[in-house]
Every structure is written in structure tokens, then in C-alpha cells.
Chain A
């Protein structure tokens, strides 16, 4: 670097010019302070709570909350529900997102119009999409049963959200509506960055569309797919408002995802210590799942 330029860049209000390292750190400082204050303090408190006996004034160290959750059938149930919910929604977001992104990447008329409509559901808050779908699933006054009965697919009023077997698939279908557009935009952005020449070369060699997709599109998109998978998994793991408004975890506990179960323990039954232990387990799970993603990102910065 030109020494004259670096001289003038160290101009500052302090008598001694700030070193470049310190300057950089100062830019990052507000962000770090907020994270430490709003995340750091609660995390430490939650961890301390999780090792304290339930309903006690004196904080003594105990692992009883963790032992208790191992035997808590409802905890395992919510873990299972969360797993089904996260895996199926993330999978469907990516399959549908990929199909729509590839379709939008083709030479099209009215491309802007289609893209606009394709992203639209993402702007609806999940709390509100839960409300809309709840009424669509209404057995007698909802549009879904109406269409199914009209088209002759069924003769009965199906209880979508009140049946233990149908409730999760119904919630997943509603979530996919809102969730896939974001994955789609990210994938579309990746598709547009693939050099056209690669496809042209493949065409000269007589490759089919499927072969093109497997040998050109997928390898080029790999990094972006991993980013989208990671972000989506994290967000789906934390999903709360959608299920809160659709079923509140019911019927019984059949749609009770982990965040909802922990919320109930913390704020309804006021079992702070026990809820904290479950939340710590949830955080550890999420960090383990996203470790490859964090590694990949930080390796390249």
C-alpha cells in the first residue's frame, strides 16, 4: 500500500492515530456489544437455571432437570414432532423451490409477473399464514373440504387439524406454502450465476436436460444449496407462531413442536429450570446440526 495513503487514513480524533486493527475492531464493537447483552446474558442465565433445582430460592448445582427430561415422554414426543416437521418442510421447500427456480430461469414471457407471484407468500407472517390455513382447513366452512367434495375426491368432511394422523401433514402443507419462496429466490440467484457456456458445451455433446441438471446445475449450486439448507433448517427448528395459531400443539400433543413445549413449561407451568434445561438441549442440537455450515462459511472469509 502507498505509505502516504495509509498515513492519511489513520487520521483520528485521538492524539495518536488508531492502529488499523483497532479501527476494525471499533466498527465491529456495536454489533458484538448487542449480541453479548441480548444473547450472552440470557444464555448464561439459562444455563445456570438449567442446573438449579426446580422452584428453589437457593441456587445449588444439580443435574436433576436433565435426568428428568430423559424420562419425560412428552419431551421425546416433541423432539419427534420437531424432527418430522423440520425434515419434511426443509425437504419440500428445497424440492419445490428448485422446481420453481429452474422454471423461472427458463426463457419465459411474463417472467417478472411469475417471479412476483412466486415470492408473494413469503411476505405473509407465519402467524397470519397459520390463521388463513386454519380457516381453509375448517371441516364445514373451509375451502379445502369444499373443493375435495365438489370434485368427488371425498364424501365426508375431513377433520384436517383435529385428527392426530392428519394434523402434522396439514401443518406441513401450510408451512411449505409460506416457506419455499425464500429458498426459491436463493436458488434462482445461484442458477443465474452459472455460466451459459457450460450448458452450450453440454448441448453440443448431446446431453439431455436431466443429464445437464445432474452434471452442471447441481455441482455449480452445491455451495448455495448448503447455505439454503442450513438457514432453512435453523429457521424451521425455531418455528413457533404458525403452530401456536393453528393447533397450539393439539390434538393432544400430536403437533407439539419443541419450541411450543418449552414455551408451555416456561410461561404456563412456570417451570423455569426445567424449561431452561430443555432449551439448552435444543440449542446444543441446533449448533451440532449447523456446525458443517459454520465451518464452511468461516473457512472462506
Chain B
């Protein structure tokens, strides 16, 4: 049966409207960051700045601890991404290749641990960190985020390793590799796209968190960009251009990461999280 050609326009129509919805907040954030404080409060507002200025960026970078927050966010998120992906890959390999007793129960347990809300865990975890002297440190935060992302990382990487034929491991072992050696030298390179997807996922989660940083840090030394920006907004007077300049900077790393690794991310989610 022949289709009416009108059908072909429908997807474009939908996508253009959706793209507008997706893009307008980005434009608003960027445009506000280039306005003067006076222009940002103009009634009625201007959509694009009349006289664009980088003043707000200058203020937030030079006059606040924002560069420090940025560094903290980077260290914590990278640490989480690496640790969560490596431990997740180890566990994924264990679950995929070895059928030990209690395996299904353990997988169920790991998946169920995702259901524990952060507000239940963060208080006692805070007290534990104070006791062992890891309060207000990078490891304290990295361990927390790694654990939150681990169930998802493990499950996704297990799915990925399931798709790698077991003959590959065996061939490596014939050549004299130990089990760990086969995992490190053969499996990890093959599942690289899945690892990239998992890393982005863990990175985004750690980068965007507020609750755990709010509780597990104090002062400026360990604050992250999300915490820094949230403090600016709870002040009595909100300076929107500065806040939006900070938001632009804080959105850049995840955005760039995503743009660069888009294909791996989509492929990784497809093979890992969605496989039948």
C-alpha cells in the first residue's frame, strides 16, 4: 500500500517543537550570563543581551571560590567514574562468567540496594565518616558516589560482558593468561564502549549531586559547583547573571563529555541496559 507523503513531515514537525523546548532554557541560561545585573532585572525582560558582557564570568571566577569548587567537582566525579566502572566491571565479570551459588540472590540484593533513598543513608554515613576521620575529604565523597552508582554500573557491564563470547577468555587462558589476566587484557578492551557509557553515567551522577555534598562537607574547601551555586541562590539577594555564568561553567564538562562520547553512550546503554 502506498503511504501519503504527509506522514513524512510529521516526525520533523514533532522534532522541531521538541528541539525548541530543549534549547530555550540553554539559550536563556547563556543569555542571562552575558547580561548586566540591571538588564537581567529589566521589565519586560530582553531575550538576548543588548550589550553582552563577560563581567559576570569575571566576577564569579576571580571573586568567589568557584575555581576551587570546579576542581573539587572534577576530582570527585572523575574518581567516582573510574572506581565505579572498574569495580562494576570486576563484579560484572564475576556474575557473567561464574555460576557460583547464591549468584541470583546477590544480583537481586545489589539491584535492591538502589531502592535505598539517599536521605536514609546520608545521616549515619556522615557520623561514620566523622568517626574514621574522612568527613570533608575526597575519599569520603568518592566512596559514597561509587556505591550509589555501583548497582547500575555492575548490571550494565554484566550485560555487556554477556555479549562477549566465552571462547575469547578461553583462548587467552590457553596462551597462559590467568583469569584476572584474561579479564584485564582481553575483556576490558572489548567492552570499552560499555565502560565509557558507565563512566559518563557515574560522572554525571557525582557531578550533579547536592544532598551528599551538602551533608558531607563544610566550608569552601571541599564544596562542589552544585553546592556553591545552591549557596548563592539561598542568599538574600540573588545575582542572576553571576548565577547563570556559574551554571554555564558547571554545565560545560558534562556537556562536552557527552558530545564527545555520544556514540559510545548510546551504544553502551543499548547493549548493556536494554539487551534482551
Which residues does A use to contact B, with CB under 8 Å?
5, 8-9, 11-12, 20-28, 30-32, 34-35, 37-39, 41-43, 45-46, 49, 96, 99-100, 102-104, 106-108, 114-129, 131-136, 140-143, 146, 149-150, 177, 181, 185-186, 188-190, 192-193, 203, 206, 209, 223-224, 227, 234, 237-238, 240-241, 244-245, 248, 258-259, 262-263, 266-267, 272, 275-276, 279-280, 282-283, 286-287, 290, 294, 297-298, 301
Contacts and interface: CB of A to CB of B under 8 A. Distances in A.
A62 to B, nearest CB: 19
Interface in B180-235: 183, 204, 207-211, 214-215, 226, 229-230, 233-234
B274 A190 contact: yes
Contacts of B127: 45
Q: Which 3 A-B pairs have the closest CB atoms?
A: A24-B98, A125-B208, A27-B94
Contact of B91 (A9, A12, A30, A122): A30
Contact of B124 (A45, A127, A129, A240): A45
Given A189-B274, A237-B117, A11 B178 contact: yes
A121 B25 contact: yes
Contacts of B273: 186, 227
Nearest to B128: A41
B25 A136 contact: yes
Nearest to B143: A38
The secondary structure that dominates the A interface is helix
A24 B115 contact: no
A280 B124 CA distance: 13
A192 B115 CA distance: 29
A186 B268 CA distance: 11
B157 to A, nearest CB: 10
11 contacts: A8-B176, A25-B94, A30-B91, A38-B144, A45-B128, A117-B19, A123-B254, A124-B25, A124-B251, A263-B211, A297-B107
A276 B121 CA distance: 9
A268 B273 CA distance: 38
A290 B114 CA distance: 10
A149 to B, nearest CB: 7
A37 B134 CA distance: 14
A103 B116 CA distance: 35
Contacts of B130: none
Q: Is the interface of B mostly helix, strand, loop or mixed?
A: helix
Contacts of B144: 38
A263 B150 contact: no
Contact of A42 (B19, B125, B155, B258): B125
Contacts of A28: 90-91, 94-95, 106
Nearest to A125: B208
Contact of A240 (B45, B121, B210): B210
B259 A241 contact: no
A108 B113 CA distance: 41
Contacts of A27: 90-91, 93-94, 98, 183
Interface string B133-150: 000000000011011001
Candidate in A28, A37, A115, A298 with the most chain B CB atoms within 10 angstroms: A28
Contacts of A189: 266, 269-270, 274
A78 B174 CA distance: 60
B25 A132 contact: yes
B40 interface: yes
Interface string B89-130: 011011101111101101111111111111111111101100
Contact of A238 (B117, B128, B247): B117
B150 A31 contact: yes
Given A108-B12, A298-B108, A9 B98 contact: no
B240 A241 contact: no
B146 to A, nearest CB: 6
B117 A35 contact: no
B116 A223 contact: no
B246 to A, nearest CB: 9
B47 interface: yes
Given A100-B14, A125-B226, A241-B226, A143 B45 contact: yes
Given A131-B243, A294-B111, 11 more contacts: A11-B178, A27-B90, A42-B122, A119-B258, A125-B250, A127-B226, A186-B274, A245-B210, A267-B123, A267-B214, A294-B108
Nearest to A205: B1
Given A31-B91, A240-B118, A136 B28 contact: yes
